[in-house]
Structure formats: C-alpha cells, structure tokens
Amino acid sequence: MIELRYFEKADFNQMIDWVETAELMLQWGGPSFVFPLNDYQLEEYLKDANRKNSSSYIYSVVDVETERLIGHLSITRIDRNNRSGRIGRVLVGDPKAKGKGICGQMMQQVLKIAFEELELHRVTLGVFDFNKPAIACYEKAGFQKEGLLRDHQKFGDEYWSLWEMGMLEDEWRENSG
C-alpha cells in the first residue's frame, strides 16, 4: 500500500540517486531537466507547485508499511478553464518496489486527486513507445492511446517515439466504480 505526499526538499537526494543515467533522466524528466539532476533543478521544479490553485502538484510515493520513499509523480499543466491536466515524471525508483503493482496504485491515487479533488475533465500523459511495462500500467488504469508522435525525442544518435494517452472523467468513473 502506498500514499502520495507532496515532494519536498528532503526528498531531493533520493530522487538524484534514482535518476542516475542521462537515458533515465530523459525518460523521467524530458527535455526540462539536464543530466546530472541536481538540487537547483529540483528547486526550480518545485518553485510554484503544491499551492492552492497551483498549475502543478508534485508527489513523493511512500510505502505505508516501511515509510520509505519508493517513487515519484506529478500532475502538471493544470488548466482550470478547460479542466485538464497532465500526469508526468512517473517513476518507481526503489528497485525493491518494481514489479509489485506500485505503478497501478500510483495511477489510482493520482487519478482520484485529478478527477475528484481537482475536478478535471481530461487527464493526459506521454510515454515512450519502448516502455512496455508503463504502457501496460496506463492502459490497465484506463488510459487510451490517442496518437503516436513519431521520432519525437532525440537521444544520442536515435529518435524515440512517444505515445500520447488520455482519459476522460466519465471513463475514470466507469473504471473506478
């Protein structure tokens, strides 16, 4: 069992330890972050987050039993007029937590926040097409593939394609009820 709590400065070192390669940095942080991850980048990431009516909420994922930090995710690009937002920076960082359904629990909890607390109508996310476990997790949570952005991101000498996925509030209510 997990719980989401706001990401804070005390979590920075753990996050920096988890994001240990440029490849993982790009998968986790996209072009917004530059490898290696550092305190300054994380401070900027948190700057306007986690406040009333903020456009982003950033969470640490905590194992309830052990109280250990095991992951991270965020809801950003919150547009209150259009009632939309984007899930991003999804990471099950603790190697001992991988393959145990943590991503599914993370999705359940963040979608509950998005659709019930923030009263969003539409939630999106992007995932690289080679990340099959993440795609399976998101589809199981109820996300639908909406389009493939071919050769969306360059990494070294190769290009990565990105699936755009989305979910509407009535789809979530059907799935969660």
- Output the CA–CA distances (angstroms, integers) from residue 152 to 7, 82, 129, 164, 175, in the order listed: 28, 25, 10, 11, 30
CATH architecture of 2-176: 3-Layer(aba) Sandwich (3.40)
Instruction: Give yes or no for a contact between 58 and 49, defined as CB atoms under 8 angstroms apart.
Output: yes
Tell which residue, 46, 59, 50, 26, has the closest CA to residue 126: 26
Which residues have C-beta within 8 Å of that of residue 6, sequence separation ≥ 6?
A: 50, 57, 58, 59, 60
- Output the CA–CA distances (angstroms, integers) from residue 91 to 45, 110, 170, in the order listed: 16, 13, 26
* Distance of alpha carbon 113 from alpha carbon 99, whole angstroms: 24
Q: Find the mean pLDDT for residues 148-164.
A: 97
Q: Find the mean pLDDT for residues 102-108.
A: 97
* Distance of alpha carbon 24 from alpha carbon 66, whole angstroms: 26
Structure confidence by residue, pLDDT tens digits, 31-69: 899 999 999 999 999 999 999 999 999 999 999 999 999
* Distance of alpha carbon 68 from alpha carbon 160, whole angstroms: 33
Residues belonging to the chain: 177
Instruction: Give yes or no for a contact between 155 and 118, defined as CB atoms under 8 angstroms apart.
Output: no
Helical residues (DSSP H) of 54-123, grouped into ranges:
102-112
Place of tokens 């400065």: 9
Q: Which tokens go with 146?
A: 């909406």
Domain boundaries, the chain: 2-176
Q: Is pLDDT of 110 > 90?
A: yes
Instruction: Report pLDDT for 176.
Output: 83
